[in-house]
Chains A and B, each alone.
Chain A
């Protein structure tokens, strides 16, 4: 296959940029703020519930994440969360409910490809990278911390 020349590639890029509709910034940011803020407010209510059971704030954050994941999974199963992502963009994707959505949606979608290579493999399409780079970054940060603060222990 012939390779496109530099100028052809540039021309294509320019054309593509022109063809893309402009980003409706005000609308996108407004809905991201509202949807993300409301999900976190709901999370705060769950957090307060577990703190009322006698858990410290940092301890209560653990079951809170599980409850938020349950709610996100349920809303994804019912087809509601994908609408929320369409409306709120990153406002729905960034909270842990969106992490749950990124696992549940492909798990349902790829059932037709089988339970192992469909559901089992595809559910980590987005969650996999999040966990991989989360672990790599946190290991690096933890190692630096350990060498600076804890190495003498």
Chain B
């Protein structure tokens, strides 16, 4: 059942993004930025964690999950270290994804050539 909810929730988040990209003047890049911000706001309002509990990777893999991870990292770190955590918590929580993306991006540039 977990897989079904991951599929449905993840798919519906992408449909929502597709509606924004097709129905407004926003480009796909604008839409990606918008959904990260929406994820951060929903996380602060306590709305995103229940979605993660319910849909697992269906909520954590799409970009709003990135906004959620940033906010939860900040909240947890600032509860531990005070205002310093506001600056350290976000990137610390998302460091693995961001570092992996930059590292693999560089390696792909070394190993592969673009088509056409």
A124-148 contacts to B, CB under 8 A, are 125-127, 129-131, 133-135, 137-139, 141-146
Residue from B10, B97, B114 in contact with A66 in the complex, judged by beta carbons closer than 8 Å: B97
Q: Number of residues in B with C-beta < 8 Å to the partner? A: 79
- B104→A40 contact, CB < 8 A: no
| A99 to B32 Cα, complex, angstroms | 9
Do B18 and A91 touch (CB < 8 A)? Answer: yes
Q: Which residue of A has the minimal Cβ distance to B8?
A: A37
Please indicate the chain B residues that have their CB under 8 angstroms from the CB of A74 in the complex. 104, 108
| CA A117 to CA B66, docked complex, whole Å | 27
The complex places the Cα of A123 from the Cα of B17 at a distance, in Å, of 22
A44 touches B108 (CB 8 A): no
Which of B14, B33, B74 is in CB contact (< 8 Å) with A129?
B33
B105: chain A residues within 8 A (beta carbon): 73, 100, 103-104, 107, 119, 123
Interface residues of B (CB under 8 A from A): 2-3, 6-15, 17-23, 28-29, 31-33, 35-37, 40-41, 43-44, 52-53, 55-58, 60-63, 65-67, 69-75, 78-79, 82-83, 86-87, 89-91, 93-94, 96-98, 100-102, 104-109, 111-115
Q: A44-B56, A109-B114, A138-B40 are in contact. Are A94 and B101 (CB under 8 A)?
A: no
- Find chain A residues with CB under 8 A from B72 CB: 58
Q: In the bound complex, what is the Cα–Cα distance between A136 and B101 (angstroms)?
A: 20
For B52, list chain A residues within 8 Å (CB). 57-58, 61
Query: Known: A133-B37, A135-B70. Is A32-B101 also a contact (CB below 8 A)?
Result: no
> In the assembled complex, which residues on chain B have CB atoms less than 8 Å from the CB atom of A142?
44, 71, 74-75, 78, 86, 89-90
Asked whether A144 lies within 8 Å of B17 as measured between CB atoms, the reply is: no
* Complex: A76 Cα to B108 Cα, angstroms: 8
Q: CA A57 – CA B53 in complex, angstroms?
A: 9
**A153 interface hit (Cβ, 8 Å):** yes
Are the C-beta atoms of A108 and B83 separated by less than 8 Å?
no
Complex Cα distance A33/B104, Å? 27
Give the shortest distance, in Å, between B4 (CB) and chain A (any CB): 9
Q: Given known contacts A96-B61, A138-B74, is B97 in contact with A90 (CB within 8 Å)?
A: no
A139 lies within 8 A of B74 (CB) = yes
Q: Could you give 9 example pairs across A and B, Cβ below 8 Å?
A: A32-B14, A36-B10, A43-B6, A91-B14, A96-B65, A99-B97, A104-B105, A108-B113, A153-B82
